[in-house]
Amino acid sequence: MAALLNSVRAFFTPQTFHVDQENPGDVVARENLLDRAMGAGRRRKSSEKLRAGRVPAEGLALVARDEDGHVIATVRLWNVEAGISREGRPVEALLLGPLAVDAAHEGKGIGSALMRAAIAEATRRGHGAVLLVGDAPYYERFGFFADKAQHLIMPGPFERSRFLALELKSGWLEGAAGLLVANGRRLSA
């Protein structure tokens, strides 16, 4: 019911934000937003182990800005190997997260707009699949389902029912099995 009300509210609310590429000046605002939205334990999550010491995938760090240019939402995608194929080759994929919207701006369709923009940009850049750990009822509307990730595992504890995948190219994850491993660019020292 809450999702339906948020959708109706977003439909009638004038769009007062725009999606943009994250820039270096957004770091403090992004980190503060994530701390508020995700809480103190956000850095202990299994997904964080894959992001630690890495930079997001090229062109796939997005923010939503309000009319004054302030960061009010964020999403980033990260390069990973999603196990190996039946032939024993690493399966290139993206890990999405975290997605966060400032509490003062929830229910306006900002999270959905960021998700659609991230998926579209990942598709445009030729990526084959996106994985995430999140609430299935929210992410299923974008095409994420647990069955596509059923033979993959995260490094560390995770809830199987919340480990979801979206194939951007049909059959990309077919036969993929094993542990997700970070393979994106490292942060500069």
What is the rounded distance in angstroms from the CA atom of residue 7 to the CA atom of residue 54? 35
Residue 166: per-residue pLDDT: 98
Q: Which neighbouring-strand residues pair with 100?
A: 74
Question: Any residues with CB less than 8 A from the CB of 16 and at least 6 apart, and which?
Answer: 66, 67, 108
pLDDT in tens, 88-116: 999 999 999 999 999 999 999 999 999 99
Arithmetic mean of pLDDT, 156-164: 94
pLDDT in tens, 12-61: 555 689 999 999 999 999 999 999 998 877 777 778 889 999 999 999 99
Locate 132 and state its tokens. Answer: 């995430």
Confidence of residue 11 (pLDDT cuts 50, 70, 90): low
What is the rounded distance in angstroms from the CA atom of residue 36 to the CA atom of residue 123? 30
What is the rounded distance in angstroms from the CA atom of residue 151 to the CA atom of residue 169? 18
- Name which of 36-45, 97-106, 141-150, 167-176 the model is least confident about: 36-45
Q: What percent of the chain has pLDDT over 90?
A: 81
Supply the pTM of this predicted model.
0.89
Q: ω before 90 within 30° of 0 (cis)?
A: no
